[in-house]
Structure 1
Amino acid sequence: MAFTINNLTDNSNTVIKDKVGSFTVLEYIKDLSCTSVGEATAQYYMSKSNMHRKQLMIEINNSEIMMRAGAMQYTVGNMEMTTGVKGAGGAVRGFLSGAATGTGSIKPLYNGTGTILLEPTYKYIWLIDVDNDEIVMDDGLFLACETTLKIGVVARSNFSSAVLGGEGLFNMSASGKGVIALEAPVPAEEAVVIELQNDVLKVDGNFAMMWSNTLNFTVEKSGKTKMGSMASGEGLVNVYRGTGTVWLAPPSN
């Protein structure tokens, strides 16, 4: 069985923005499907602001990937989709973990050989090669990954860090070795990457999009006393302590 996809990667309006393993990020230079002056005007200014439609293409060869529910646009080739859920208990666990992390209850698995195109997005697609490491993601960033990675749920260390820190009670984690795709609010080249060696990072707001699971995340007062925190105007801050890496969105976002 063989197939050819024409006018996709060989289209002059399409560029390959990034490629890691079997994951490829396509970016459309212009939106050529405008049907009104209003749409054309909006697309013009969006293009000037670096807002381009992007699409994730995944090519699998006798392998398997996991995807965010509802993200698939079309598939070509000999592959099958399963839920990866075994029995009612698995469905309940999937629902609870999905609701906790904001990623959807059931994440479909696609295995076989072929090409998968995900729904286009104006957000930014990050491709991360996890190499025998474990990362924790902000809620809702997960898009797709190789099933060689172990996807889990990490509970916040205490209730106050979840509620007061704005990070939610749980976050999704990815560990092992494989490629993961995230749908982020900022391009990867704008992310501020901070590497800690037995040190402390304090962030005013939930700007952290991803961090090493080796770090201890808590929420603390910005000052030594409650009155001092109030006087500084900062109040509570998210604190990442230990050895590891934190990826921050630019504060303007």
Structure 2
Amino acid sequence: MYQISNFIDNDDITTLASLGAFTVLEYQRDLSVMPQDAQIAYFANAMNVRKRQVVCDLSKANGGITLQAGAMQWTAGNVNATTGIKGMGDFLGKAMRGKVTGESAIKPEYTGNGTLVLEPTYRHILLIDLQDWNGSIVLDDGLFLACESTLKHKAVMRSNLSSAVAGNEGLFNLGVSGSGILCLESVCPREELVEITLQDDILKVDGNMAIAWSGSLNFTVERSGKSLMGSAVSGEGLVNVFRGTGKVLLAPVAQGIA
């Protein structure tokens, strides 16, 4: 039996979102500052640069919670941690997937019925129910934070390798599929993300602004024009192209700039 006080019930902390086992908290002010940092903290708060933290109720999680390595801050109650490795073959597969996607090879899994609290971050937290994405989503690098352990991870390869190389894009992205809740860490708030739904149609994006897209979409990197001359005249060069039926989340600026 445990009791947590002066945390979620603290008047300086508000609940931004809650879905499944995940609750997203936001600190309204940064009180733990020294005098020399007070000015920076004041203007950061005015610009919505605030600490956010994810709290997981393991009793509500399907199969436990899988985290990005190093994301756990503290736990309370009956919480058990494992590596999630189910044998040498599973380890080699996860190591290879981590190598090509840039994600951590080993993502710890937490089970039980206690409370799991993640490290605070100044990034924005997005909670996604994969049922809203027809059970499959592909993520931009560095977006994954946590998910229910029933969800499956895999490396998703671009459809045309040569254009991906030419467009300075990675050849692989992390794909997550199944039924459950996914927790993402974004440089942009949900209020600024544009959601585009395609029905047997095409979306072309100049720049790395797509942070997530349905696994059902065909993703390639192509010339903006039909010819090299046409691309040169348009001034766009190579664009990211999504074809088929599904959804795409677009940030207002190219990722890596923010």
- Structure 1 pair 91–174 and aligned structure 2 pair: CA distance change class (3 A): same
Please report how far the alpha carbon of residue 148 of structure 1 lies from its aligned counterpart in structure 2 after TM superposition.
2.0
Which residue number corresponds to residue 21 of structure 1?
20
Amino acid at match of 2:202: V
Matches of residues 1-253 of structure 1 in structure 2 within 5 Å?
Answer: 2-37=1-36, 39-61=37-59, 63-131=63-131, 132-251=134-253, 253=258
Please report how far the alpha carbon of residue 231 of structure 1 lies from its aligned counterpart in structure 2 after TM superposition.
1.6
Q: In terms of mean alpha carbon deviation, does 153-162 or 66-75 score higher?
A: 153-162
Amino acid at match of 2:30: D
1:172-204 CA-partner distances (Å, limit 9, x unpaired): 111121100000110011101111111111101
Amino acid at match of 2:142: G
**Which blocks of at least 5 consecutive residues in structure 1 are unaligned?**
none
Aligned residues: 251
* Corresponding residue SS for 2:226: coil
- In structure 2, distance between residues paired with 1:205 and 1:70: 30
* Corresponding residue SS for 2:40: helix
Please report how far the alpha carbon of residue 242 of structure 1 lies from its aligned counterpart in structure 2 after TM superposition.
1.0
- In structure 1, distance between residues paired with 2:162 and 2:83: 34
- Structure 1 pair 18–121 and aligned structure 2 pair: CA distance change class (3 A): same
Q: TM-score, normalised by structure 1?
A: 0.95
Percent identical pairs in the alignment equals 52
Amino acid at match of 1:103: E
1:8-35 CA-partner distances (Å, limit 9, x unpaired): 1110100001100110000000000001
- Structure 1 pair 166–15 and aligned structure 2 pair: CA distance change class (3 A): farther
Q: Which has a greater percent of strand? A: 1
C-alpha contact (below 8 Å) 1:165/1:205 kept by paired residues: no
Please report how far the alpha carbon of residue 151 of structure 1 lies from its aligned counterpart in structure 2 after TM superposition.
1.9
C-alpha contact (below 8 Å) 1:196/1:242 kept by paired residues: yes
Amino acid at match of 1:108: P
- Structure 1 pair 166–195 and aligned structure 2 pair: CA distance change class (3 A): farther
C-alpha contact (below 8 Å) 1:64/1:110 kept by paired residues: yes
- In structure 1, distance between residues paired with 2:64 and 2:108: 10
Please report how far the alpha carbon of residue 4 of structure 1 lies from its aligned counterpart in structure 2 after TM superposition.
0.8
Amino acid at match of 1:178: G
**Which blocks of at least 5 consecutive residues in structure 2 are unaligned?**
none
1:223-245 CA-partner distances (Å, limit 9, x unpaired): 12101101211101010011111
- Structure 1 pair 7–166 and aligned structure 2 pair: CA distance change class (3 A): farther
1:53-91 CA-partner distances (Å, limit 9, x unpaired): 000110111841100001000111112111111333332
How big is the alpha-carbon RMSD for the aligned residues of Structure 1 and Structure 2? 1.4
C-alpha contact (below 8 Å) 2:79/2:115 kept by paired residues: no
- In structure 2, distance between residues paired with 1:17 and 1:72: 20
